[in-house]
């Protein structure tokens, strides 16, 4: 069941599909990460112009690392994402290096752990394909290095999500920059139509919720396999699912995840989220979850009215 309208409510699939029989009582207490109020800060360092209308925000209690907003600025709150790698090749792994530069010009070296990591790095192509979620290594001098493996050439954007500690005070940001992946050009892929279900590695994810831009929208993801509820999801980065969404067109960034209790390898079948998406339109949602020791990534298109 799909719809092309902006604001349709995602419902369960028709009965001819495998039924998702769920025990709602097992649902973890929600979680949300999307927008908890942002204070756009346009502190552009000299020579580091912003590349879009991104946002920075102060973390809400307990939400460090979960930064709402569009994430399209290269600089905010006195910190600037400075790439040290100009472009990377398609079809092979290569190193991408960068620094977070402080107002005084020196690389930031102090960060605070968020979702079990010091920094979360995302790569996505302009057509919302080619998603990678990686965790760079920080060298003593403040240079981050990550191995990226973009399959296709084209225009991408890299996102860095972190809580920095300039002057010892936490500043949570999503900063991003365009990245060219060199190689034979491939055409942009059309965005798949919105759907309430998606599959990955034999798992079926069924999404319910009516996402509305600018307001707190509850949503759930129910995980089944061969028609049976899955109750053995394993923690990944401190949660039973890690959600990242990008807005079609400008690649605006949103990040959501379950914030409920995590009790060992017993996650599912229903995961609750609360999304606050900054703008209406279509989002490509990447859902990462771990089961049986393997990390899976499902993706689906969602509309926000
Ligand atoms: Cu991460």
Task: Tell me, yes or no, if the pTM score tops 0.85.
Answer: no
pLDDT of residue 60: 33
pLDDT, tens only, 53-77: 334 433 333 333 344 447 999 999 9
- Asked if 19-23+191-304 and 37-182 have one fold, the answer is yes
46's CB contacts (< 8 A; 6+ apart) are none
Query: How many Å lie between the centroid of ligand 1 and the Cα of residue 39?
Result: 23
Q: How far is CA 257 from the centre of its chain?
A: 9
May I ask the CATH class of domain 37-182? mainly beta
Q: How many CB atoms lie within 10 A of CB 47?
A: 8
Give the distance (Å) from ligand 1 centre to CA of residue 2.
30
Give the pLDDT confidence of 233-291 residue by residue, as tens digits. Answer: 999 998 999 999 999 999 999 877 666 788 899 999 999 988 878 889 999 999 999 99
Q: What is residue 259's predicted lDDT score, i.e. its pLDDT?
A: 64
40: three-class secondary structure by DSSP: coil
Residue 237 alpha carbon to ligand 1 centre in Å? 7
Q: What separation in Å is there between the alpha carbon of 165 and the centre of ligand 1?
A: 18
Give the DSSP H/E element, type plus range, for residue 17. none
The owner of tokens 């079990």 is: 116
Q: Are 303 and 195 in contact (CB under 8 A)?
A: no
Ligand 1 centroid, distance to 6 Cα (angstroms): 29
Above 90 in pLDDT, residue 80?
A: yes
Ligand 1 center–CA 1 separation, angstroms:
31
* Burial annotation 70-87 (CB, 10 A radius, 16+ → b, else e): bbbbbbbbbbbbbeeeee
In this predicted structure, what is the pLDDT of residue 110? Answer: 97
How far is the centre of ligand 1, averaged over its atoms, from the C-alpha of 135 (Å)? 6
- Give 110-160 pLDDT, tens digit per residue: 999 998 999 999 999 999 999 999 999 999 999 999 999 999 999 999 999
- For the chain, give every domain's residue range: 19-23+191-304, 37-182
CB 288 within 8 A of CB 296: yes
The tens digit of pLDDT for each residue in 3-49 reads: 333 333 333 333 333 333 222 222 222 222 332 322 223 333 333 33
Considering only 70-74, 80-84, 215-219, which range has the smallest mean pLDDT?
215-219
Distance, CA of 247 to CA of 277 (rounded, Å)? 9
Fold of 19-23+191-304: Immunoglobulin-like (2.60.40)
Cα(105) to ligand 1 centroid in Å equals: 26
**Neighbouring residues of the ion ligand 1, judged by CB less than 5 Å:** 120
Rounded average pLDDT over 182-196: 95
Q: Which whole-number Å values give the CA distances from 121 to 52, 134, 176, 241, in the listed order? A: 18, 5, 10, 17
């Amino acid at each position: 069941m799909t719809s092309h309208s902006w604001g349709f409510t995602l419902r369960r699939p028709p009965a001819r599909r495998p039924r998702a029989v769920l025990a709602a009582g097992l649902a973890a207490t929600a979680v949300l990460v999307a927008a908890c109020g942002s204070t756009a800060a346009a502190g552009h360092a000299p020579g580091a112009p912003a590349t879009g209308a991104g946002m920075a925000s102060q973390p809400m209690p307990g939400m460090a690392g979960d930064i709402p907003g569009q994430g399209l600025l290269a600089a905010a709150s006195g910190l600037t994402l400075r790439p040290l790698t100009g472009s990377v090749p398609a079809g092979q792994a290569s190193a991408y290096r960068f620094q977070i530069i402080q107002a005084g010009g020196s690389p930031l070296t102090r960060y605070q752990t968020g979702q079990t990591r010091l920094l979360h790095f995302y790569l996505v192509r302009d057509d919302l394909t080619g998603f990678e979620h990686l965790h760079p290594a920080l060298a003593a001098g403040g240079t981050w290095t990550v191995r990226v493996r973009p399959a296709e050439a084209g225009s991408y954007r890299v996102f860095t999500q972190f809580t920095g500690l300039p002057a010892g005070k936490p500043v949570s940001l999503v900063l991003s920059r365009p990245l060219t992946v060199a190689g034979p050009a491939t055409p942009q892929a059309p965005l798949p139509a919105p759907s309430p279900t998606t599959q990955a590695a034999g798992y079926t994810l069924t999404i319910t919720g009516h996402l509305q831009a600018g307001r707190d929208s509850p949503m759930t993801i129910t995980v089944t396999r061969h028609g049976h509820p899955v109750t053995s999801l394993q923690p990944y980065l401190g949660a039973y699912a890690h959600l990242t969404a990008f807005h079609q067109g400008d690649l605006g960034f949103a990040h959501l995840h379950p914030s409920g209790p995590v009790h060992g390898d017993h996650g599912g079948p229903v995961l609750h989220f609360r999304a606050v998406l900054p703008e209406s339109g279509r989002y490509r949602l990447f859902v990462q979850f771990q089961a049986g020791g393997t990390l899976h990534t499902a993706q689906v298109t969602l509309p926000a009215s």
